[in-house]
Amino acid sequence: MTEWCPIASRYDPLKAGSIDGTDVEPHDRAVWRAMGARYRPNKGVRGDPQLTLFVSRLNPQTGEERLRQVFSQYGDVRRVRLVRDVVTRFSKRYAFIEYKEARALARARRDAHKLLVDQHEVFVDLEQERTLRGWVPRRLGGGLGGKKESGQLRFGGRDRPFRKPINLGAGPATEWAGDGARGWAREDRDRDRDRDRDRVRHREPEWGGRDRREYRDRDRDRDRDDRRHRDRR
């Protein structure tokens, strides 16, 4: 049980297509395609992958200067790469932010996640392509995203971590453990727990004594009216 981690430390399309990382057969054709893909990271990308942040769900109108302005508040930014369509040059709504220091990267990953940038809530995580072993992008059937409507959900990432298996033995899920992934997952889990605790603490009681009495009196009046209506018949 101590070896299990909700965040993948290496990429396996078969396990990424499973809600808890224990599936032994693909559940959609895209997983089959990803398992047969021979993908190599883009060698033309510059920068240190260990200092690079992945930012997605951007506003289509958000540009490089705006991203640099927003993410510079967490530390010195070395490079901003907004991915654009090669033909139209329109934004594909995701970018890579390279920092000069590791602590700036950690600060941005912690505080910029779900930040509103130009009226859009952005998703922030570490770069996966050059750091996660075995990575296969979404266009080849891999990735860690997907929509529920398409039925091609991918798990093991920050946005959609693995669910805890029912039986945590010496099974496939134990192979995902890693100190780095476990540390990031623990940090996310602690922050979510504190956020939920604050929500419960500040939540107003849904049912007061007065509300309960009014609801009971309303039911009693409704029953009395029903009886009168039946008697008139």
Of the chain, the percentage scoring pLDDT greater than 90 comes to: 54
| pLDDT digit string, tens, across residues 140-188 | 999 998 888 877 899 999 999 999 888 655 555 444 444 566 666 667 7
- Which pLDDT value is given to residue 18? 92
Q: Which residue ranges make up each domain of the chain?
A: 13-173
CB 82 within 8 A of CB 95: yes
Cα–Cα distance measured from residue 179 to residue 102, given in angstroms and rounded to the nearest whole number: 17
More confident residue, 80 or 151: 80
- Which pLDDT value is given to residue 124? 96
The CATH code of the domain at 13-173 is 3.30.70.330
Predicted confidence (pLDDT) at residue 204 exceeds the cutoff of 50: no
Cα–Cα distance measured from residue 145 to residue 57, given in angstroms and rounded to the nearest whole number: 12
Question: What average pLDDT score do residues 210-223 get?
Answer: 64
Q: Which own/partner contact pairs does 159-167 have at CB distance under 8 Å and 24+ positions apart?
A: 159/123, 159/125, 161/6, 161/7, 161/185, 161/188, 162/5, 162/6, 162/7, 162/8, 162/18, 162/19, 162/20, 162/21, 163/6, 163/19, 163/20, 164/4, 164/6, 164/20, 165/4, 165/20, 165/21, 165/22
Q: How confident is the model at residue 219 (pLDDT cuts 50, 70, 90)?
A: low
Q: How confident is the model at residue 135 (pLDDT cuts 50, 70, 90)?
A: very high
| pLDDT digit string, tens, across residues 22-58 | 888 998 899 999 999 988 887 778 899 999 999 999 9
Predicted confidence (pLDDT) at residue 87 exceeds the cutoff of 70: yes
Q: Which of 33-42, 61-70, 120-129, 206-215 has the lowest mean pLDDT?
A: 206-215
Q: How confident is the model at residue 215 (pLDDT cuts 50, 70, 90)?
A: low
Question: What average pLDDT score do residues 111-122 get?
Answer: 96
